[in-house]
Structure formats: structure tokens, C-alpha cells
């Protein structure tokens, strides 16, 4: 669906929505304040929806799912589905560097649009918009286990078996600052297998090593 069909031409061309699609590279009058407002509205809507949808979930699980739904990558993905980049007003530098495709800019613009719709049409209309934007994602909420990163999953698995937690050691580091490649080894007590992950940061390398360790341990040891 196009953005014009989602909002309607009149609302899309309103003062608030035009401002919501104006990046700070264009003018001091930009979408940053609307982004702040939209972020708060989105956070409330998702929190309220999850609270009512999952009455038995503890606070930690609700927080994890909410974080997944409102993270920048999710927002940018939704923005791309509605081709928001085509409607953005960007400065010459941002245009040249491909700003209409940048996830951070798209995510901010989507939040700003939510704020703009709230100011133009009110709270109920803004909530209806969020529900339409998130329709598919609210029907396909990932499980809490799916949202846990690899280090958390292997740690919880070992803890549940009374085992010692894994250790992570940087075994190689190549490249200059800003373009390094890390190799990290994850060691599991009483396990002869070696799990080595590589990444552009120590954290990414640790996660990759933990993923390999989890896949092996969960299939072969427990």
C-alpha cells in the first residue's frame, strides 16, 4: 500500500505530515520534535496492546517483545513497505549519500508521522494508524525464546542444567581501528568441541560463537 492510500492525500499533504517528512538536513523546522512525540505514542500503544494480549507474561517478557517491535530495524522495514523514502525532504548531502534508504532516517520519519497524525486527527486515529501499520507483525508475534540472543540462550540452558557458564576469549584481531575483524572462542566446560565466531566487533563475534555453541550443546549434550 502507498503512503497516500494509508493516510489519504489531504492528511499526507497537511502541514504536520509535511513537517514529519522533513529531515534536519533541510531546515531547523524539521521532524525531530514530531519524532519524539510519535516515539512515545508508539511505545504506549505497543505496551498497552501487549499488556492486554498476554495477561500471563511477566514484565521482562513484555519488555523484550516491545523492544523488538519498536526497534529501529522494525520501524525502517515498515517505512520501506509504504515507500516513505520517496516522500522525504532531505538536504543535498543526505540525498547524495542515499539518505532516502537509510534505516535511521526512515525509522525517525515513521515515528514523526505517527506524531503528526496524532496532532492532526487525535489519539484514536493515531492508534488506528499504528494498528494498521503493525497489522501483520501483531498477528505474528515471535516467541520470547526467539527474541533472546545466542549468549542469553546458551547461558540459560547451561544454568538450567547446573553447569558452569561459558567463557569467551578473543583469539584473533585483524585490521585497523574502525575496520577490525574479531575472532572469539566460546568454551563450554566438559565439552571438547571448539566454537569460534567472527565479526566486525567483539560483541558480534561472541554472538556468533555462542550461536554455534548453543546449536551443538542443545542437540548433542542435553
* Cα dist from 105 to 5, 56, 85, 112, whole Å: 22, 36, 9, 10
Query: Given this model, what pLDDT does residue 222 score?
Result: 67
Q: Please choose, from the candidates 143, 169, 155, the residue with its C-alpha nearest in 3D space to the C-alpha of residue 218.
A: 155
Extract the C-alpha cell encoding 59: 514484565
The boundaries of every CATH 1.10.1520.10 domain in the chain are 3-143
pTM of model > 0.85: no
Residues in a beta bridge with 164: none
Strands 181-187 and 167-174 come out as: antiparallel
Is 108 assigned a catalytic role? Answer: no
Considering the candidates 35, 94, 108, 111, report the single residue annotated as catalytic.
111
Per residue of the chain (222 residues), give pLDDT as tens: 789 899 999 999 999 999 999 999 999 999 999 999 999 999 999 999 999 999 999 999 999 999 999 999 999 999 999 999 999 999 999 988 988 999 999 999 999 999 999 999 999 999 999 999 999 999 999 888 888 889 999 999 999 989 999 999 999 998 887 788 999 999 998 898 989 999 999 999 999 999 999 999 988 776
The residue with cell 540459560 is 156
Is 39 assigned a catalytic role? Answer: yes
In terms of phi and psi (left: phi > 0; alpha: psi -120 to 50; beta: otherwise), the region of 162 is: left
* Domain covering 150-220 in this structure, CATH number: 3.30.160.20
The boundaries of every CATH 3.30.160.20 domain in the chain are 150-220
Considering the candidates 39, 94, 108, 206, report the single residue annotated as catalytic.
39
First CA to last CA across the chain, in angstroms?
A: 47
3-state secondary structure of 91: coil
CATH class of the domain defined by 3-143: mainly alpha
Amino acid at each position: 500500500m502507498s503512503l497516500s492510500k494509508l493516510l489519504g492525500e489531504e492528511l499526507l499533504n497537511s502541514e504536520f505530515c509535511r513537517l514529519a517528512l522533513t529531515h534536519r538536513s533541510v531546515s531547523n523546522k524539521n521532524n525531530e520534535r514530531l519524532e519524539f512525540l510519535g516515539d512515545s505514542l508508539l511505545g504506549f500503544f505497543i505496551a498497552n496492546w501487549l499488556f492486554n494480549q498476554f495477561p500471563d507474561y511477566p514484565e521482562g517478557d513484555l519488555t523484550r517483545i516491545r523492544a523488538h517491535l519498536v526497534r529501529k530495524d522494525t520501524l525502517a522495514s515498515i517505512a520501506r513497505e509504504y515507500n516513505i523514502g520517496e516522500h522525504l525532504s532531505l538536504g543535498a548531502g543526505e540525498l547524495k549519500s542515499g539518505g532516502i534508504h537509510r534505516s535511521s532516517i526512515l525509522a525517525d520519519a515513521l515515528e514523526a508521522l505517527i506524531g503528526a497524525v496524532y496532532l492532526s486527527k487525535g489519539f484514536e486515529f493515531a492508534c488506528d494508524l499504528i494498528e494498521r501499520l503493525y497489522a501483520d507483525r501483531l498477528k505474528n508475534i515471535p516467541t520470547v525464546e526467539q527474541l533472546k540472543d545466542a549468549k542469553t540462550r546458551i547461558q540459560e540452558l547451561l544454568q538450567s542444567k547446573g553447569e558452569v557458564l561459558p567463557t569467551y576469549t578473543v583469539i584473533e584481531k585483524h585490521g585497523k581501528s574502525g575496520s577490525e575483524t574479531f575472532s572469539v572462542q566460546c568454551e563450554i566446560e566438559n565439552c571438547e568441541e571448539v566454537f569460534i565466531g567472527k565479526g566486525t566487533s567483539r560483541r558480534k563475534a561472541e554472538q556468533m560463537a555462542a550461536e554455534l555453541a548453543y546449536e551443538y550443546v542443545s542437540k548433542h549434550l542435553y
